[in-house]
Structure 1
Amino acid sequence: MPDAMLVMLVAVIVAALAFDYINGFHDTANAIATCVSTRALTVRSAIFMAAGLNFVGAMISTKVAATIGKGIVDANNITQMVVLAGVLGAIVWNLITWYYGLPSSSSHAIIGGLAGSVVAHAGMSALHWAGLKKIVTVLLVSPVVGAFFGFLFMIIMMWTFRNKAPYTLNKVFRKLQILSAAVMAFSHGTADAQKSMGVITMALVSYGTLSSFEVPTWVKIACAVAMALGTAAGGWRIIKTVGHDFVKLQPVHGFCVETASAGVILGASAMGLPTSTTHVITSAILGVGLSKRMSAVNWTVAYRIVAAWIITIPASAGVGFLSYTVLSPFLGR
């Protein structure tokens, strides 16, 4: 029995790192789509910059990991099978949305996957409703804040530089955008790699390796490396949707988008609140687009993105529930 439990623990760790890797190439667009679309950086340079800064950001804090690990489900109902099925739910949904080029939320996917698997294991009472309410509220409010600040920053820039020639303005902001993209990549690391850290630490506590929820250094490094490698693999499908198809951007627009998004994400991460980097940056792009005119936004793409947002939690929860139901008779509860 202990050997079987150890095998399950290893399976959970591998699955969580796979999720982090997929999260990296799925969410690469969050950090670099705008600077690629404005030609501030080449795709290769942008991806490698994002990979390095995702790694650094992932090593900074574990507050978000603690929220994911302790705020979604009752600790008494966390088993290796629950965690494994939850991660599988998130992985499957991420791959589906990546295939169709939809910038859905990896944060929503892992939350939905874990919620679905624990309900399959112990019923609705196993969910931490207060923690889930807090997490979902932040995930819903943060895109609104991102859109507001994207709109506000763009209006300020338009007013401040209203007498500047477009060529000169683009030249300056193309350089500034490299800095804002770097900060965005760093902020992405502080938010997204934390989710797998929380999942692995949850599994270690369940197995008995840890007596309390505290992320070990090796878990931090492993998740940071997996995220960085995934980022380095790129994610051109979603980069195209966010950076080209949604709103046509100039360097000044990209700077405003990345600055607004990074500010929202870093602020939330400092408080241990898991935001969706995907939602925040696409909402900031929407805000910038609206500052120009309504027709600047490709509303067909916008509707597709919103539809993916709405169904991510229930879809990944369904896959998590199904994974637990199918696998638990063979692998144990």
Structure 2
Amino acid sequence: MANRDLEPRHLDTLDRDLGRFANLEKATAYVGRPVVGTSIAFAFMLLAALAAAIFFGQSNNGMIVVIAAAIGAYMAINIGANDVANNMGPAVGANAMTMGGAIIVAAVFESAGALIAGGDVVSTIAKGIIAPESMGSPDVFIWAMMAALLSSALWVNLATWVGAPVSTTHSVVGGVMGAGIAAAGFGAVSWGTMSKIAASWVISPVLGGLIAAGFLWFIKARIIYQPDKIAAARKWVPMLVGIMAGAFASYLALKGLKKIVKIDLGSALMIGAAAGALVWVVMIPVIKRQSEGLENRNKSLKVLFGIPLIVSAALLSFAHGANDVANAVGPLAAIVQASDTGSFTQAVSIPYWVMIIGAFGISFGLFLFGPKLIRMVGSQITKLNPMRAYCVALSAAITVIVASWLGLPVSSTHIAVGGVFGVGFFREWDAERRLKAARMAIPDRPVLGPEERRRRKLVRRAHFLTIAAAWVITVPAAAVLSAVIFAGIRMVTG
């Protein structure tokens, strides 16, 4: 009997049974992972509510502040899950960083940006969309902000679930607009501001895409297509890294350090020029040393862009934390002030405990739910390598500077994703151009059929259409949802 148990057919059966157990364990882990993430997120929301109860539990509107703190934490988690992917996706997709490394770097720099440079004074109504005095009373204002916060969080959560990176700023804008219309009518809306925001739906991704494509064209023309790629890299890579350093110095001076010091555009550009020149000079011997012994091929060039790409991702996360934390806690801060003082027409300073909720919420959201959108931006739209990802990161900083100069409101999400699309579409155009040149050189070369040409597209059209549709409907969808929530709150509260 014992010998029979060792026969090959019995061993095969045992292997199959063990395989089934292994698959069952994998399936259980896969199903359980979202449950664990949701549980941790819910626990963080309860902690935020507890913090609010400690600070404001004894005030007249203490319960309202407690509920608003939980919703603000929920919004911050969703921002971390959706928005941060735009900073880290290109670096992860280019294999310059691992997913774990990207999450750690982003969590540290997002929190640092929010706590050190975030919390700049914000208006009681986001972006000047609704006239505060139109609300009539503090209670109406509080319910409107509550509806705006909850609707924007729900919309970003839905977008993350379907795999669409959307603008959290636009979600908050739509939420505020919808609640404002429900509370005070269409006349309360600043339609001039809304028209600028609508224009940014087109301006942000197009400008980001054009700048990213332009830098990729430069890298291809001056380095990749050169006979001696390493010599060309030694000449141009220090300059490109210097441009990146200058762009990010200006970007951080304009957008990331507003709480610490106010810097106008001219001064920011001078700071950027000085930083760029210094980094350029420093990088010349560094790149020369890094390039020693490298083979004269494209793969070798990736080494030279790895560290600049990681640094750019960290700086983007710092600036994002400084700016977009207000999307999570701006309405919450307005609710806290209106509940505490009864004032809702004055500017709002975000309390530090509220800022901590926003900063840690973004980090939790990134850690628990961020990988899905990081993969989408980094590898599922188009294939990225360090050179292409560098172009995307650089375009994000430059586009914000150009938009500030032109006085245009832009979305960092739209810029980054537009840069990824710009790189992908440029690669398609370049591949088509080179194919035509090869066909002219070799007339007998076989012509590709329509089906094969579609298969070789370098940008996934399904993702392009899904993301574009999500961008277009973000403001109206958040507005309608907010109006419905506001009406429901008024109905319950009488």
Mapping for residues 145-184 of structure 1, pairs under 5 Å: 145-162=207-224, 163=226, 164=229, 165-184=297-316
Distance 1:6 1:272, change over 3 A: farther
The reply on whether 1:36 has 2:92 as its aligned counterpart is yes
User: Which position in structure 2 is the counterpart of 1:125?
Assistant: 187
* Counterpart check, 1:10 vs 2:172: no
Give the conservation status (yes or no) of the 8 Å contact 1:71–1:132.
no
Confirm or deny that 1:22 pairs with 2:78: yes
Q: Output one character per residue of 1:148-189: Cα deviation in whole Å (capped at 9) or x when no partner.
A: 111111112112213222121112122321112112222322
SS in 1 for 2:318: helix
Q: TM-score, normalization: structure 1?
A: 0.89
The one-letter amino acid of 2:317's match is A
* Aligned partner letter, 1:154: L
Equivalent residue for 2:153, pick from 91, 95, 114: 91
Question: 2:491 matched to which residue of 1?
Answer: 329
Does residue 282 of the first structure (1) align with residue 282 of the second (2)?
no
Aligned match of 1:228 = 363
For residues 281-314 of structure 1, give each alpha carbon's deviation from its aligned partner in whole angstroms, at most 9, with x where no partner exists. 1100111112211532112210111011111111
Q: 1:169 to 1:185 in 2, by over 3 A?
A: same
**Separation in 2 of the partners of 1:93 and 1:149?**
30
The CA deviation at 1:3 is 6.0
* Aligned CA distance change for structure 1 residues 159 and 62 (closer, same or farther; 3 Å): farther
Query: 1:74 maps to which residue?
Result: 131
Distance 1:320 1:214, change over 3 A: closer
| Paired residues of 2:175 and 2:482 also in contact (CA < 8 A) | yes
Distance 1:42 1:68 in 2: 39
Q: Would the aligned equivalents of 1:139 and 1:274 in 2 still touch at CA under 8 Å?
A: no
Question: Does 1:314 pair with 2:470?
Answer: no
Q: More displaced, 307-316 or 223-232? A: 223-232
Contact map agreement 1:191 1:265 (CA 8 A) in 2: no
RMSD of equivalent CA atoms: 2.6
Structure 2 contact 127–173 (Cα < 8 Å) conserved = no
Pairs aligned (count): 331
For 1:117-266, what aligned pairs fall within 5 Å after superposition? 117-162=179-224, 163=226, 164=229, 165-209=297-341, 212-218=346-352, 219-265=354-400
Greater CA drift, 93-102 or 171-180: 171-180
Question: Taking every aligned residue pair, what percent have the same amino acid on both sides?
Answer: 28
Mapped contact 1:98–1:238 kept (Cα < 8 A): yes
Check conservation: 2:124, 2:334, Cα contact below 8 A.
Answer: no
C-alpha change, 1:137 and 1:64, in structure 2 (3 Å) is farther
AA partner of residue 100 (structure 1) = V
For residue 269 of structure 1, report the CA deviation from its aligned partner: 7.7
Q: CA deviation at 1:270?
A: 9.9
Deviations 1:63-91 (A, max 9, x none): 58449635111112161110111111111
Partners of 2:120 and 2:216 in 1: how far apart?
A: 31
Match of 1:56 in 2: 112
Matched AA of 2:117: I
Checking the alignment, whether the CA contact within 8 Å between 2:93 and 2:384 is kept in structure 1 is: yes
Q: Taking structure 1 as reference, are residues 95 and 263 closer, same or farther at Cα in structure 2, changes over 3 Å only?
A: same
Assess if the C-alpha contact under 8 Å between 1:64 and 1:273 holds in 2. no
1:199: Cα distance to partner? 1.4
Q: What is the identity, as a one-letter code, of the residue corresponding to 2:459?
A: V
Supply the AA of the counterpart residue of 1:9: V
The aligned amino acid for 2:300 is T
What secondary structure does 2:61 align onto? helix
Runs of 4 or more consecutive aligned structure 1 residues displaced over 6 Å after TM superposition? 269-273
Amino acid paired to 1:111: V
Give the alignment partner of residue 463 of structure 2, picking from 271, 293, 301. 301
Moved more, 197-206 or 245-254: 197-206
SS of the aligned residue for 1:286 comes to: helix
Distance between the aligned counterparts of 2:471 and 2:193, measured in 1?
Answer: 20
| Distance in 2 of aligned mates of 1:26 and 1:222 | 17
CA displacement 1:18-70 (0-9 Å, x = unmatched)? 20121111223111111111111110110110111112222425558449635
1:119 positional shift: 1.2
Amino acid at match of 2:470: A
Unpaired runs of at least 5, structure 1: none
Q: Are 2:147 and 2:482, in contact at CA under 8 Å, matched by a contact in 1?
A: yes
The answer to which structure, 1 or 2, has the higher relative contact order (CA under 8 A, 6+ apart) is 1
Aligned mates of 1:208, 1:24 — CA distance in 2: 29
Instruction: Please give the alpha-carbon distance, in whole angstroms, between the structure 1 residues aligned to 2:493 and 2:162.
Output: 32
Check whether the contact 1:100–1:237 (CA below 8 A) recurs between aligned residues. no
Task: Classify 1:217/1:71 alpha carbon distance in 2 versus 1 (closer, same or farther; 3 Å).
Answer: same
